Structures are given as C-alpha cells and as structure tokens.
Structure 1
Amino acid sequence: MSELTYTRSGDYLIPDLSLTEQPQAPLGKYGRMRKDYLKEHRPVLWNSLLLSEKLYPHLREIDEAANNRLEQMMPELMKSAGVTEALKASDPMKWVGLMNTLKAQAEETILTELVFS
C-alpha cells in the first residue's frame, strides 16, 4: 500500500485521494438512466459504488442486461400480438403503431425490473 500524502489548505491537511483510471466507453440509454436514478433516489448506494470504483462496471452491466432483455422480449411480444412482415408490407402504419406499443411495453418492464430497482 502506498503512503498517503496530504496537502495543506490553510490550517487543514487534506488527503490527496484519487480514483484509479476507469474505462470511459460511453454508456447506453439504460446505463445513463440507472446512473441518474441512483444519484437522485439512492445516494448511499451511489456513493458506495462510486467510492469502491464499482459504479461504472455496474452501469455497464445494467445497460447490457437491459438491451439483452429487450432483444429477447420483442420477438415474443411481436409473435403474441401478430406483428409479421406481411403486416408490415400490407399496412405499414399499423405495423409501426404496434411496434411502438410493444417497445413501450417491453421498456416499461425493463425499467421496473432493472433500472429503477
């Protein structure tokens, strides 16, 4: 373990603390939403993850899990709602409306289960 150094600020000695370098690949939509949620609604967990340098890996994991879950859910929802390529060809506006509804439904589940928990 390295020696802790201090910087004098007036009458106080302040420890020179720094986090190790974290990979800075951009976070996806769900990772950013999780970050905002933790910061606003779960500040103790936010600080714990931040100080233990586990925040970024946690956010990446949530983002990947949410995207994988969305990819799994959409085909199942499309099948149950009868959304097909034939419908896309015959009535594109209805197809788009159904797809938007199904995506919103899937995202609501994902946000409840993964992001806002």
Structure 2
Amino acid sequence: MAKSLFEQLGGTYRKESDYLVPCLTVPAEKEQPIGIWGQRHLDYLKQYRKVTYTNLLTSGRLNTYLADIDRQAQERFERLIEGMKQAQGITERLKEENALEWTGRLGNIRACAREIVEEEILYT
C-alpha cells in the first residue's frame, strides 16, 4: 500500500478504535515575556483577526510576533512622550515649581501617546 502524503512528510498515525488519527504537534517556540502592548494586540487578534491568530499559533510564531509588537509599541510610546514633552516645554523645572500642573500635563501626554500607539501599531 502506498504511503500517504502525510506519511511521506514524516507524519505518523495512532489508532483510535477503528480509526487512524494523525499525530499533530505545534512547533516548539522560545518563550519570551510579553508586556501590556503585546497582550492588548493578542486580544485584538483573537477578537477581530482570527485567521491571523490561528496561523501564528499553529506555525509556532505567535509568542515571537507578540514580543516584537510589544517592543515596537513600547519604543514608539516612549519616543512620543519625549517628543511631546519637549514640544510643550514640560521640564524638571516645572515639576519642581508646580508638581500638580506637571502631573496633569504629563498624564495628558501619556493618554495621547497611548491612543497613537494603539492606532498605529496595535489595531492595524
């Protein structure tokens, strides 16, 4: 009896009752820490991009992909905050003179930067 394509590619079967079931495994992937940006993108993939999520998961590249998205988003977030602080003149001197105003303005900058990162990187 000729081998199936699955067997020719090195696949094996196990017997379940009267049926031969293929032994399928997902390729091993190096575990990398995933931060908040990667977790948010994972939720987005699961909800709105199910095919992309499934393809990444079954190919064993999901964790690496999410770690890369997390790194890119964090770097972009930090660059945006620094750029906005310089553009609006928020300095350590303002922090010393009026901590409450400094905190409010920095909070606004962080919220704006978060929205930009979500639009540019996470939800695309």
SS in structure 1 at match of 2:60 = coil
Select between 107-116 and 48-57 the one with higher mean Cα deviation.
48-57
Deviation, 1:72, is 1.1
Structure 1 Cα separation of the partners of residues 87 and 37 of structure 2: 25
CA pair 93-11 structure 1, distance change in 2 beyond 3 A: farther
SS in structure 2 at match of 1:109 = helix
Deviation readout 1:37-84 (Å, 9 max, x if unpaired): 101111011111112222222111111110111121111101122211
Select between 10-19 and 90-99 the one with higher mean Cα deviation.
10-19
Match of 1:10 among 10, 13, 17: 17
Structure 2 Cα separation of the partners of residues 84 and 10 of structure 1: 73
How many pairs align?
117
Runs of 5+ consecutive residues of structure 2 not aligned to the other structure: 1-7
Aligned to 2:108: 101
Query: What is the TM-score with the length of structure 2 in the denominator?
Result: 0.85
CA pair 25-54 structure 1, distance change in 2 beyond 3 A: closer
Match of 1:50 among 54, 57, 74: 57
Runs of 5+ consecutive residues of structure 1 not aligned to the other structure: none
Aligned to 1:60: 67
Aligned to 1:114: 121
Deviation readout 1:78-109 (Å, 9 max, x if unpaired): 11222111110011111111111101100100
Identity, % of aligned pairs? 32
Structure 2 Cα separation of the partners of residues 12 and 111 of structure 1: 48
Aligned to 1:30: 37
Select between 10-19 and 66-75 the one with higher mean Cα deviation.
10-19
SS in structure 2 at match of 1:7 = strand
SS in structure 1 at match of 2:15 = strand
